[in-house]
Structure 1
Amino acid sequence: MSTVQSESEAAVDDTAFAAEWQAWHDAHETNRADPHGFLAVTSLNWLDENPTRYRDAPGEWSTSDAGPVVTLAEGEELVIDGEKATGRHAFGVIPERGGVTVSAGDAQFEVARRGGADILRPRHPSHPTLVDYTGTPVYPPSARWRVEGVFVPFDEPKPVTVGSVAEGLEHVYDSPGVVEFELRGETFSLTAFNGQAPGSLFVLFTDATSGVTTYAANRSLQIAAPDASGRVTIDFNRATNLPCAYTEFATCPLPPAENRLPIGVEAGEKTPLHPSSESEGAPR
């Protein structure tokens, strides 16, 4: 009798686990397919001191030590902070990994700073990468890929320099420590970075599936803030692709060398079915 009850409880737990994962996955896919998300990016433009016009954005764009500037021709306008702007507009100095978004019609334009350079990334809802997107394949969720671990903080946050999918670009992140966990009887450690929510973490990693069934360059995993004892839950079922898996117009960071797991993590998102490696980079 107790065996039957145990099996029944396990089935309920598995069902609840799958339902919780499905709700998370659906929300993640909805966010990814946002009309102005990274699937809508039509080009990646590195600004310099020479005013330059791009075919998928109004105005001439340049930058200097004072920050990016756009000069709009007669009949052109942008909506900036809810107000229509014409003529010349100076954005001021943008901090590293910061940015602002302006719009014109149904398009948006990201003006940001990445790797010490100012960039312009137009986003058009009609872009084929977004219009043709049908979802990302995933491994079936399994509780065996959700493991308990521990966060081991450094005495002081440590700056970690990592490469980028954009040639010649580097990113520097402050790492507060590492997460340690066990899988298949082995102990592993991953360098962690600060997440978006206070106290939360995220890790960039590759594993033995990378370049086989999962995207070769990287995957990302969000981890909730450690509890008072430093314990964390590491759910590889929620490992996701970064924008560079879908578009060539990304500046995604690569994992630090120590985050290359020697085992195959058969969980989370797989390589996209139709990555946009042959996009023409203009709205249709």
Structure 2
Amino acid sequence: MTAPRIPADYDAWREGRWEEIAGVNGKGTVTAKAKISGHDAHTLDGLPGIWTTTETGALTVTAKAADGVRVNGETVDGTAEVPSGAKLDFPGGLNGFAGGADGFYGVIVMDRTRVEHSGLSGIDRFPYDPTWVFEGHYRAAETGRRIEVERLTAPRSTEAILAPVDLVVTTHGTEYVLAVLEESPGQRLVIFTDETNGDSTPQIGRWLVLPLLEPGSAVTVDFNKATCPLSPFGNHLPMRVEVGERALIHAADQG
């Protein structure tokens, strides 16, 4: 049997996914992250510094000089304003950045040696299958709809994420309607579960990144590009979606 032709854009997507996970600023390097909003004090797990926002919506961090927290190369001794895009440094060679505006910010801390030390060496995937590429379309949802999504934090938490449209797609003769999340402006994704979860893929489900288009627009849905978090209730496909990513590979997994 002749193997299916793999599109060039799929190979490029695979390379981009590995860079996203294991690159210099990849997700595999992240050791802590937080969303900072409101005037309550926030801390980053295991790291010095107290983060909050001011009445004018600026991000600040409070620390002592001995804590070793730096913002754009300057040691924090007291309370310092943290501009969006600021480079952050922490003890132990950790660094990161802050982003956001108007009282809503994200702070990410990275250890660029983490990928090497973890033994992460690749991403296990099902073989590419062109029969899992479909044409769907967006359908408008009720204005302001939000869906509770569980976060893989310790302890577990939930967040109500904007879900402005549904993805309507017919797969192998059956139409499905899946809620589409917009976790940050301009970034849409659909998180789903299927019958492979718990044996060949993670129990928590997988996701597909989708383009930002108006309701009614056609959308190419390529399940070969399914990656791996947690599905909102209702986004379940009652079949085995044996394409896309299965799990991260670590050196120990290869014996």
Question: Closer, same or farther in 2 for the Cα pair 1:164/1:129, shift >3 Å?
Answer: farther
Higher relative contact order, chain-length normalized (CA < 8 Å, sep 6+): 1
For 1:192-211, list aligned pairs within 5 A. Answer: 192-194=180-182, 198=186, 201-211=188-198
Question: Closer, same or farther in 2 for the Cα pair 1:19/1:154, shift >3 Å?
Answer: same
Q: CA deviation at 1:177?
A: 1.7
Q: Is the 8 A contact 1:43 1:121 kept in 2?
A: yes
Corresponding residue for residue 5 of structure 1: none
Which one of 257, 261, 264 corresponds to residue 240 of structure 2? 264
Larger CA Rg, structure 1 vs 2: 1
Between Structure 1 and Structure 2, how many residues are aligned? 240
Q: CA deviation at 1:208?
A: 0.7
SS at 2:11 equivalent: helix
Corresponding position: 1:42 with 2:31: yes
Corresponding position: 1:213 with 2:205: no
Question: Closer, same or farther in 2 for the Cα pair 1:71/1:138, shift >3 Å?
Answer: same
Whole-Å separation in 1 of the counterparts to 2:227 and 2:174: 23
Q: Is the 8 A contact 1:125 1:131 kept in 2?
A: no
Question: Closer, same or farther in 2 for the Cα pair 1:39/1:23, shift >3 Å?
Answer: same
Corresponding position: 1:177 with 2:165: yes
Question: Closer, same or farther in 2 for the Cα pair 1:274/1:194, shift >3 Å?
Answer: same
Structure 2, gaps ≥5 residues long: none
- CA RMSD, 1 decimal: 4.0
Q: Is the 8 A contact 1:40 1:130 kept in 2?
A: no
Q: CA deviation at 1:271?
A: 2.0
Corresponding position: 1:23 with 2:25: no
Whole-Å separation in 2 of the counterparts to 1:53 and 1:230: 42
Could you give the per-residue CA deviations for residues 159-217 of structure 1, whole angstroms, max 9, x where no partner exists? 2222222235211111112111111222111001237684x631011111112111211
Give the alignment's TM-score, normalised by structure 2: 0.75
Could you give the per-residue CA deviations for residues 4-56 of structure 1, whole angstroms, max 9, x where no partner exists? xxxxxx99xx53x43321121112112211223221233568998598994xx
Structure 1, gaps ≥5 residues long: 1-9, 243-253, 277-284
Instruction: Report which of the two has the higher share of strand.
Output: 2
Whole-Å separation in 2 of the counterparts to 1:100 and 1:170: 28
Question: Closer, same or farther in 2 for the Cα pair 1:86/1:44, shift >3 Å?
Answer: closer
Corresponding residue for residue 80 of structure 2: 90
Corresponding position: 1:139 with 2:126: yes
Q: CA deviation at 1:65?
A: 6.3
Corresponding position: 1:71 with 2:63: yes
